[in-house]
Structure 1
Amino acid sequence: MDQRKKIRSGLPGLDEIIDHLRIGDNVVLQVDNIADYESFVLPFVRTSLDEGRKVIYMRFARHSPIIDDNENVKVYHIDAEHGFEAFSTQVHQIIAAEGEEVFYVFDCLSDLLYTWATDLMIGNFFQITCPYLYELKTVAFFAIYKNMNSYETISAIRETTQVLMNIYNVRGQTYIHPVKVIDRYSPTMFLPHIKQAQDFIPLTSSSDASKLFADMSLNVFDAPRRHLDYWDRMFLKASDTYEKVKFSRIPSAEGKNLVEKLCRMVLSRDERFLELLTKVFTLEDLLQIKSSLIGSGFIGGKAVGMLLARKILLEDENFDYKKILEPHDSFYIGSDVFYTYLVKNGLWKLRMEQRKPEKYFSLARVIKSKILSGVFPENVKNHFLRVLEYFGQSPIIVRSSSLLEDGFGNSFAGKYESVFCTNQGTLEHRYLEFENAVKQVFASTMSDDALMYRLKRGIADQDEQMALLVQRVSGSYRKEYFFPDLAGVGYSNNIYVWDEKMSPKAGMLRVVVGLGTRAVNRTAGDYARIIAIDEPLSSPLTDFDDYRQYAQRNIDALMVTKNSMIGIAFNDLLNEIDDPKLHYFAQRDYTAEKMMKEIGQQDRQAWIINFDQFLSNSTFVGVIQKMLKCLEKFYAYPVDIEFTVNFKDLDHYQINLLQCRPLPAKGLKSKVVFPKHIDFQKTFFQSHNTFMGGNIHYGIQRIIYVEPETYSRLSDLEKYRVARCIGKLNSQIEKENMTVLLLGPGRWGTSTPSLGVPVYFSEINNITVLGEIAVKEGGFTPEISYGTHFFQDLIESDIFYVALFPEGRGGVLQTKLLNHFQNLLPELLPLSASLGEIIKVYDVNKGMHKALEIIADVGKQKAVCFFK
């Protein structure tokens, strides 16, 4: 027997049927219209107010208000347009703030279908909200429309709620039929009851009950489709409409309307993207996407960018891209699968707690661990198996494609995981590898870098579901290695130009041999080739020694015999595999071969990857420029792309367009003017051809300087300590709103401490100017990072970057000018005072020199930082 406190419903007849409501009850009414819901809710509200109860009305639907203006009822207006996460979070926060024994009335949940499109998310919302209401000893009323939601959603609600009742209106009579009433029972409780005045009379006669349900069945149309989710019904309608218009060259008004609706359901909420998408996408395109979609919801920014770019190019009348674009056969894991995974694994409450500022990072690590150990529902597992059966044993990659990723203003470049699956072995082994890859990408939503990025960009509270893009890896086998001939990134704008003849509007490329991981990541000891599209053979490098030093040495490949991605030395590969295509990208290094012979390696060849033959003899650069400009024109915005290229020969190749997104380039900004004379004695540093970030003229207030020589002598553990200290100084900058110059040896953000300072980007994101110093003795070498995820972070955060070569390339760095200033590190971070010999912090508006300025001009390719 239920011992919870009894609560009056406001309808004595209903109280008699179910032995009253109880504290903790969630009451769900299945109704034909909102008026039927009101007839049960309003008596409950009046009675509760008369008894001095606090009543809350959650208002979010398009239907007329259930409760008219009533000063005794507190109304919360919640916008469902921002998506499931934002909506659920706001409801959760309201419930938490209102506390225990509060009574709630919610608008009809079925109305959320017009915004969310998928029943699955309504079921998820109820499954996370109902237990919390029960925990806080509330009573809450909900409604859903009959025959509008799928059986799966109704099942999820039935399993979760305490009270579920159907309300019928048949031949002018009102009936109530309790379906579930937890912990209460009577011989007639679960029979249909007819309303007579204030009473409800059970239909104890089988003939009366049969007649009632026979009459109700006459009002149910399209019965087979009731089994379908609203989402599926929309696509069924789209399919029917497409069959009607597919032979017509002029799309119908109904077809256009459906395209817009489906784009909002599957592709994007962003109005700027929707404007682009509805220009080119057809019902056929959207039905094709649906056929490759696992689950429901959005396919995410990365998938949308890839599909949109391909569609734009294939419809371009100025060039036949069909001949050169490699077809794709991608699958998409809908964003609803991610949230359902969290809900089914009991992680939603933790996620709500993680929203609190004091738990934002700490609880995220707990959630990340639990995501990696979670379990998928059987129906999702079956879909995963279908994907693996389709791809067979072809290598695949599971890529993040979140809702906010690759959008206007937010790229999330490198913040989320992408995981290669070699896809070898038994189906069971391949399935386990694939499932772990999916979990790994899901878990990356809780990485420190991703969380800091969202926080910094003011989008921590926005709906950020993780969809996934599953793609066949582009490339071919060379013995046990699998990789594409070429991979890279392309930009329609080039703000890193090193020659006055170059135009920033011409664009640039960053290319590597093998998998594209080395094109987008700063890799220890390796350098991608940067190509100015209008001067492809030009290079900022000056001699053969530079080419040798700043070349790609290793390539990334999938090694199928080891089921893993590996890095292999290019020279080792060419000495093991005779592949003439790889010779397109390299030239023999006879000096190195002579040195090898001297140490007994007679038969080995040495090669330097420089791409000169490829750039001189292939049409590729011209084609990729057309591609970039076509996309830029359609977007009316600079873009960047990721691609792979596979060759038959230099003139016959196929490009696989993997990704396209708006490029948040800062451009040239305003014109700058150098002073007529800058005293060399007061020049702190000077750089030619080794900076990026457009034209700038800043006053610098603070310098943070990591002393290279002392840093080089530290252990790796101590170098990581230096990095964390930089992060703390970075946090202080945000509070003080200062312009800060950060200088240090080698590469910022490296994962290899011997090459630089291993900071996370979130530990330097408040810096104004970032400088990397080349130091021969320590082995520290900067990398012009244009085209990497690190670069993307720099331009999104508007950080100017400069590589300093004090011993060459016309560079100047006079650190002796800092000797006049006091090191503020012990004062700013007393617990890190012992690092004072390594980390110097100077406020340069104090002391002997009153002001420090930096001026950079892209056209002149000159940057100077000097004391006035």
Structure 2
Amino acid sequence: MSKIYNRASTGITGFDNAIDMLRLGDNVVWQVDSVVDYKGYVAPFVKRARKDGRKIVYIHFAPHDPLIDDLKGIGYYELDPDQGFESFSTHVYDIITDEGKEVFYVFDCLSELLTYWHSDLMIGNFFRIACPYLFELDTVAYFALLRNKHTYSTIARIRETTQVLFDLYHIKNQYYVHPLKVWERYSSTMFIPHKSTKTEFTPVTASAELAEIFSYTSIQAERKDNWINLFDSAREALFMDESEQQKIKDMIINIMVGRSRRINDMVNKYLTLKDLLNIQLRQIGTGFIGGKSVGMLLARKILEEDKEVKFEDILEQHDSFYLGSDIFYTYIVQNGWWKLRRKQKTESGYFKYARELKERMLEGKFPEVIKEQFQQMLEYFGQSPIIVRSSSLLEDDFGNAFAGKYESVFCANQGTPEERYRAFEEAVKKIYASTMKEEALAYRLKRGLFNKDEQMAILVQRVSGDYHGDYFFPHLAGVGNSSNLYVWDQSIDRHAGMLRLVFGLGTRAVDRIMGDYPRIVSLDRPEQSPLLDYEDEAKFSQRKVDVLDLKENALLEKPLEEVINLDLKTRSDIFAKPDHKTNRKMKELGLKGKSHYILGFEKLLKETDFPLWMRKMLATLEAMYDYPVDIEFTANFREDESYKINLVQCRPLQTKGPGEPVQMPEISDTNKCLFTFKGNFMGGNIRLPLDYIILVDPKGYMELSLEDKYAVARTVGIINNKLKDNTMMIMGPGRWGTTTPTLGVTVNFAEICNVKAICELAYNIGGFMPELSYGSHFFQDMVESDIFYAAIFDGYPEVSYNPGYVLDRKNLLGEIAPNSLGLKDVIHVADVSEMELYSDIISQKVLCK
């Protein structure tokens, strides 16, 4: 059954007769030559609305004087579009919500928003948000657009969305109104120009008069988006004086780089106007390019401009594109999810609606204009593998790394153009959906970013590496920290920096991978390992290699023995050496097969200048950032053993100093403390009084079903929230935060974010083995949250561990998480208010008693 509309007046009787009145629910858009012309038609509309006793609201956001001279009795809101699209749109949405049904609205000319947002795309997005909501509430709203100011696609979106669209012409002191769309109304003269006065509104039917009118209104060629026009004009500034260039440069930084003052200052210092204009040439859509893109570009520029060290000789050229943050909002608005996003952005709906929005974001559609630009970019890359990476506004900034919170997706980029396009589009959707991951939401909430504008831009990079058989990968990849605060030996210089190094793609360097150990390198002693004196060196090295399998068109892990014997186009012994012990055993057992290798990178670290270059690179970036940095990189070697380093990411490293020296208690009997050992900890000098210890028993955990192992992680999350105002230490088997229950406790970081210390327990029977997390995303989370970390290798020399100090106390699990009593033999929560945790970097001692 169709909706019944009440009538409303334009304030001009003849006008009302021509269009059969306005209806409640109508959004009325005027295309005008000037705001003054628009104001002339706002006045009678407001006057009549007052007479009829209507509630009137005026939304004022443009720099011109108000459109309504007498604001008495009118709801008046003055908004600042410079706060950004989401803040502005949210404010308008909330006003509409609060004002309620059957309100009459006047909005300033929407074209004025280009002054702040610089994007036609976002004008259309705003209208797509406001118009349907106003219609839903039976309002009547007036909007205006400046003629020939917007792209045809923007006008088309507005025409499609609005109920009423007029062209207003001012020709030779005479006004003409041409109705272009009047929804669900029709007459034989409705859609021709009408000569308009304050009282009369007469259709122009004579062909001679119509021809004269339209001689002043020629059809324009397709117009560029305001964003493109702005940058075209900016290129002309390259020929202007320095002061004019600086004005343009400041403007571009504000609209494309971001809102971080500290980062913007660095960009202003190191990137030229020409640099910024070249970046824009590789931008798809409009808006910010995001923190990850900015960090990569800024760091590379710093190194390339270094006068003392010729980094340009060693750096591989990057090949990247940037999906502007406005595409993220366009995707949400285009698919009709803005109302759901508003519900999710409330305190009560923050987690409640995130799952639904995440699922929808995996299934949406992109506008055709964006899809075409995606296609052109993919044609540029051809079949070269690419990586699609998150680059949100807040990411990689001073204070907020967002390490591992959002997705990055490798695209092997094989197959037909249609198949390659589908894979890329799915990767973009997956990254957008990752903004609604519980862990990302918890991170923002914990760091006070709940109400911050967190738009998602995307960085698309050509994968660094080469073809080796059917596989594509770089020889080396890893992360580097310029400040190694978590040293494992008192002789190490923490200012020299450290690396977390892997063979193949860098996924194994940033994530904690099942059964694998990256090589940890302290750059002042690159040949020295942080691990204990293990009996079997091979057990604690990298065993699998992540590659892009071009036949399977996927990211896969392959055994080291398979990959190391490929044609690497350089010497394999730079990276790996034969595992003589294993090979001898295999021979003794009569087993024939491939030789086994150990990835120790010994010749790389001892016989090449690679560690020296990395140390110089980290030191230079830290000096220019005036802050420790965290980088991601790859390296590719040639047959002559020369190589290139590709810097793919750089961000401020969230750190704290080692702290004041701690007076360690003297212990005559190591059995009279919970644990004591040397090395294998991260977090500086501490003396931490504890309230509670949550201990997951390794043996009990190993014997649980897979379902119950996951239940342990969820229960730890409940305890983490219930005891968040207390000082907690958690202890348990293997790797906390792993995705594999057989390797450790599968918590996500949101489930342990309130603890002050984590102790990972080695347990030989179950195969649990901690791994020092230097440089991983887990490491970043611990540093940013100021969490102390220790790995306890029970049974090793100089390690004393006495779990009875916890297990002999009352188990409080039933009081804190009564629905988890079935796990009381595995999870033990003890009040340990008299216990303290100590560590000392100089002596490398850790103690809890």
Q: Do both share a fold (TM > 0.5)?
A: yes
Conservation of the 8 A alpha-carbon contact between 1:86 and 1:461: no
Q: Distance in 1 between matches of 2:660 and 2:158?
A: 59
Q: By how many angstroms is 1:461 displaced?
A: 3.1
Alignment counterpart, residue 228 of structure 1, candidates 201, 224, 242: 224
**Normalising by structure 1, what TM-score?**
0.93
Residue 757 (structure 1) aligns with: 745
Specify the alignment match of 2:436 in structure 1.
446
Unaligned ranges ≥5, structure 2:
none
Q: CA deviation at 1:92?
A: 2.3
Kindly report which structure 2 residues correspond to 1:195-210, keeping only aligned pairs within 5 A, or say none.
195-210=196-211
Instruction: Give the distance between the partners of 1:60 and 1:599, measured in 2 at CA.
Output: 81
For 1:93, the equivalent position in structure 2 comes to: 94
Residue equivalent to 2:32:
31
The one-letter amino acid of 2:771's match is E
Q: Match of 2:571?
A: 581
Do residues 411 (structure 1) and 401 (structure 2) align? Answer: yes
The aligned counterpart of 2:445 is 455
Q: Which of these residues, 291, 307, 331, is aligned with residue 281 of structure 2? A: 291
Q: Which amino acid aligns with 1:725?
A: T
In the alignment, the residues of structure 2 paired with residue 650 and residue 812 of structure 1 have an alpha-carbon distance, to the nearest angstrom, of 50
Is residue 2–residue 183 contact of structure 1 (8 Å, CA) maintained in 2? no
Report how far residue 27 of structure 1 moved: 1.4
Instruction: Give 1:402 shift.
Output: 1.9
1:248 matched residue in structure 2: none
Which runs of structure 2 are paired with 1:545-560 in the superposition (5 Å)?
Answer: 545=535, 547-560=537-550
Equivalent residue, structure 1, for 2:622: 632
1:789 positional shift: 0.9
Alignment-mate amino acid for residue 769 of structure 1: A
Structure 1 residues 840 and 819, CA gap change in structure 2 (3 angstroms): closer
| Superimposed CA distance per residue, residues 508-539 of structure 1 (whole angstroms, 9 cap, x where no aligned partner) | 11100110000000001111111111221222
Q: Does 1:788 align with 2:781?
A: no
Residues 295 and 334 in structure 1, CA contact (< 8 A), matched pair in contact too = yes
Partner of 1:848: none
Whole-angstrom CA distance in 2 between matches of 1:772 and 1:189:
77
Which structure 2 residues correspond to residues 296-335 of structure 1 after superposition, within 5 A?
A: 296-335=286-325
Unpaired runs of 5+ in structure 1? 246-250, 846-850
Write the distance in 2 (CA, Å) between the matches of 1:391 and 1:196: 59
For 1:63 and 1:854, the matched residues in 2 are separated by 63
Q: CA, structure 1 residues 277+715, in 2 after alignment: closer, same or farther (shift >3 Å)?
A: same
Per-residue deviation, residues 553-594 of structure 1 (Å, max 9, x unmatched):
111111112212221221333356677532112222221111
Q: Which of 844, 849, 854 does residue 837 from structure 2 map onto? A: 854
SS of residue in 2 equivalent to 1:596: helix
Question: What is the CA–CA distance in structure 1 between the aligned matches of 2:183 and 2:662, rounded to whole Å?
Answer: 74
SS at match of 1:545: coil
SS of corresponding position for 2:112: helix
Partner of 1:816: 804
In structure 1, how many angstroms separate the alpha carbons of the residues matched to 2:123 and 2:114? 8
CA gap of 1:52–1:389, structure 2 versus 1, over 3 A, is same
- Contact preservation (8 Å) 1:85, 1:464: no
The equivalent residue for 1:614 is 604
| 1:241 aligned residue (223, 233, 237) | 237
Counterpart selection for 2:693 from 687, 699, 703: 703
How far residue 18 of structure 1 moved from its aligned partner, in angstroms, is 2.5
The Cα offsets for residues 81-124 of structure 1, whole Å up to 9 and x where unpaired, read as: 34223332332233233322222222322222122111101101
User: Match for 2:527: what amino acid?
Assistant: L
The amino acid of 2:841's aligned partner reads V
Which position in structure 2 is the counterpart of 1:727? Answer: 717
CA distance in 1, matches of 2:472, 2:594: 23
Shift of 1:677: 6.5
The 1:810/1:54 distance shift into structure 2, 3 A limit, reads farther
Tell me how far 1:8 sits from its aligned partner: 2.5
Question: What's the CA shift string for 1:338-397, capped at 9, x where partnerless?
Answer: 322232233333323333444433433333333323333333333233223222222221
CA distance, structure 1, for counterparts of residue 726 and residue 108 of structure 2: 48
Distance 1:650 1:579 in 2: 9
Residue 364 of structure 2 is matched in structure 1 by: 374
Residue pairs, 1:96-245, within 5 angstroms: 96-215=97-216, 227-242=223-238, 244=239
**1:48 aligns to 2:49 (yes or no):** yes
1:424 alignment counterpart: 414
Deviates more, 1:511-520 or 1:273-282: 273-282
Maintained 8 Å contact 1:324/1:655: yes
User: Residues 539 and 7 (structure 1 numbering): CA distance in 2 closer, same or farther, change over 3 Å?
Assistant: same
Task: Pick from 405, 416, 426 the counterpart of residue 436 of structure 1.
Answer: 426
Q: Residue in 2 aligned with 1:8? A: 9
2:682 corresponds in structure 1 to 692
The offset of 1:332, in angstroms, is 1.9
Out of 462-471 and 349-358, give the one that drifted further.
349-358
For 1:464, give the aligned amino acid.
E
Q: Secondary structure in 2 aligned to 1:125?
A: helix
- Counterpart of 2:64 in structure 1 is 63
Q: CA RMSD in A?
A: 2.5
Task: Summarize the Cα distance change of 1:542–1:730 in structure 2 as closer, same or farther, 3 Å threshold.
Answer: closer
Q: 1:68 to 1:790 in 2, by over 3 A?
A: farther
Q: Distance in 2 between matches of 1:64 and 1:430?
A: 52
**Counterpart-to-counterpart distance in 1, 2:821 and 2:115:** 59
Task: State which drifts further: 2-11 or 420-429.
Answer: 2-11
2:775 & 2:177 partners in 1: Cα distance?
65
Q: 1:215 to 1:860 in 2, by over 3 A?
A: same
**Higher deviation after alignment, 302-311 or 194-203:** 194-203
Secondary structure, in 3 states, of the residue corresponding to 2:731? Answer: strand
| Matched letter for residue 764 of structure 1 | I
CA distance in 1, matches of 2:56, 2:788: 55
Q: Deviations over 1:463-501 (max 9, x none)?
A: 322222221111122211211110000111111111222
Could you say which residue in structure 2 is the equivalent of 1:260?
250
Relative distance call for 1:185 and 1:499 in structure 2 (3 A) is same
State the alpha-carbon separation in 1 of the partners of residues 202 and 135 from structure 2: 30
One-letter amino acid matched to 1:565: L
Is the Cα contact below 8 Å between 2:733 and 2:760 reproduced in 1?
yes
Distance 1:127 1:656 in 2: 42
> Residues of 1 paired with 2:662 and 2:408: CA distance?
41
Residue of structure 2 aligned with 1:826, choices 811, 814, 828 = 814
Question: How do 1:281-680 and structure 2 match up within 5 A?
Answer: 281-543=271-533, 545=535, 547-575=537-565, 581-602=571-592, 604-648=594-638, 652-675=642-665, 680=670
- Would the aligned equivalents of 2:570 and 2:637 in 1 still touch at CA under 8 Å? no
Distance 2:276 2:458 in 1: 17
- Partner AA of 2:541 in structure 1: A
Check whether the contact 2:570–2:639 (CA below 8 A) recurs between aligned residues: no
- Identical residues among aligned pairs (%): 49
Indicate how the Cα distance of structure 1 residues 695 and 109 shifts in structure 2: closer, same or farther if over 3 A, else same: farther
| Contact in 1 for aligned 2:670/2:800 (Cα 8 Å) | no
- CA 1:638/1:95 → structure 2, altered by over 3 Å: closer, same or farther? same
Per mean C-alpha deviation after superposition, the further-off stretch among 657-666 and 399-408 is 399-408
Match of 1:275 in 2: 265
Cα distance between partner residues in 2 of 1:239 and 1:576: 48
Aligned-partner residue type, residue 837 of structure 2: I
Give secondary structure in 1 for the equivalent of 2:505: coil
